[in-house]
Amino acid sequence: MAAFVPDAGDIVWLHFSPQAGHEQAGHRPAVVLSPASYNRIGLMLCCPMTTKRKGYPFEVEIEDEKGSAVLADQVKSLDWRARNAQKKGRISEQELAEVRAKATALIGRK
């Protein structure tokens, strides 16, 4: 069996600690934004997920994840191997597009 490499749209469990300030911490799911072709180097872009929704405009609800939301305003570049990423599931293409659109809006790309 081939070794796991996270791909865009995957939900992975990983360790977000250490953290600082308002960043998400602990062992939690995250949605992968970058493609496997990039992630093979050992880094990935991702956004953490939470079940403590606050109704912020950058939250993206994930239908199959029991009230969970992706925090599209907390884009991270992380070493997924060092943080022991394990695949949990996938979000839909529509949900991935919404996360990417909100992250892009925050960055200010035109």
Q: How high is the mean pLDDT in each 10-residue block of the chain (110 residues)?
A: 88 81 76 98 96 90 88 94 94 97 87
* Beta carbons within 10 angstroms of residue 20's beta carbon: 6
Whole-number pLDDT of residue 16 = 75
Instruction: Give me the half-sphere count of Cα atoms (radius 13 Å) on the Cβ side of residue 6.
Output: 34
Whole-number pLDDT of residue 97 = 98
Whole-number pLDDT of residue 23 = 58
* 10-107 CATH pick, 2.40.50.140, 2.60.120.10, 2.30.110.10, 2.30.30.110: 2.30.30.110
Gap between the Cα atoms of 71 and 60, Å rounded: 7
Task: For strands 10-15 and 27-32, give the pairing.
Answer: antiparallel
For the chain, give every domain's residue range: 10-107
Gap between the Cα atoms of 15 and 99, Å rounded: 21
Whole-number pLDDT of residue 55 = 86
Whole-number pLDDT of residue 52 = 86
